[in-house]
Amino acid sequence: MKKCSMCKQSKDVKEFHKSISNLGGYANYCKPCQSEYSRKRYDTKRVHPEKVKDGLIHCRRCDQYLKEENFSKQSVGRYDAKSYCNSCKKHVGHTHNMKRLGITVERYIQLEKEQDYKCKICGGIDSKRLSVDHDHSCCNSYPNCGTCIRGLLCSRCNRTLGMVDDNIYLFKKMIDYLQNS
């Protein structure tokens, strides 16, 4: 027998979820109380819109209802597996890096438009997304100040700058090497 911390009733241990983090090996709340607690906690955190409404699909990021052609085809091949529209999809998962670099999604999108969606160095178009390049001598810790953003680069140019630690002297030696080979 175990006493539920929420409803204060003594119940058989089978009425509790197993929990390796608790000393007795079972959760503090009985299964019905745990379900109720989880449901209330989840409902207060987020209001879920309908996924499909009037034949339009909801994008979780921009919170708009859009036509199916605004979404990429999933491996499942059904629209109900889609969560983000094409314009939002490339920013999802990238926002954590943007926060670390002190740049907002809106500023990122503005930089993309200013650069015509191309790499600031080579002018190429990255297949996934452009990387935020910043002056490492300004900020050595995260989050960055956001004022040292130099532009958006394709992954190849961004990696190249990183490999030589933004060392202009080393770049000049590489150019001399290539010209004299």
Residue 160 structure tokens: 């190249």
Residue 148 to residue 159: CA distance in whole angstroms: 18
| Residue 104 pLDDT class (50, 70, 90 cuts) | confident
- 176 and 101 in a single domain? The answer is yes
Q: Check whether residue 41 and residue 8 sit in a common domain.
A: yes
Tokens 């390049």 correspond to 133
Provide mean pLDDT across the span 164-168: 87
Q: Based on the fold, state whether residues 40 and 117 are members of the same structural domain.
A: no
Q: What is the mean pLDDT of the chain?
A: 81
If asked whether residues 28 and 59 sit together in one domain, one would say no
Separation of alpha carbons 51 and 161, rounded Å: 42
* Residues 72 and 37 both lie in one domain: no
For residues 46 and 60, is the Cβ–Cβ distance under 8 A? no
- Per the structure, the complete domain to which residue 103 belongs is given by 95-180
pLDDT digits (tens, 9 = 90+) for 5-61: 999 999 999 999 998 888 888 999 999 999 888 887 766 555 566 777 888 888 877
Q: Which of 89, 110, 143 is the last residue of a domain?
A: 89
Q: What is the pTM of this model?
A: 0.52
Question: How many domains is the chain built from?
Answer: 3
User: Across residues 108-135, what is the average pLDDT?
Assistant: 85
What is the CATH classification number for the domain harbouring 156?
3.40.1800.10
According to the model, what pLDDT value does residue 36 have? 87
Are 100 and 167 contained in the same domain?
yes
Is there a single domain that holds both residue 65 and residue 40?
no
109 & 154 share domain = yes
Question: Would you tell me how many other CB atoms lie within 10 Å of the CB of residue 101?
Answer: 21
**3 or 139: which carries more pLDDT confidence?**
3
User: Could you tell me if 109 and 163 lie in one domain?
Assistant: yes
Task: Break the chain down into helix, strand, coil percent, rounded to 5.
Answer: 35, 15, 50
Residues 36 and 103 in one domain: no
Query: What's the pLDDT score for residue 134?
Result: 80
Instruction: State whether 145 and 174 are in the same domain.
Output: yes
Same domain, 41 and 59: no
For residue range 28-38, list pLDDT tens digits in order.
999 999 988 88
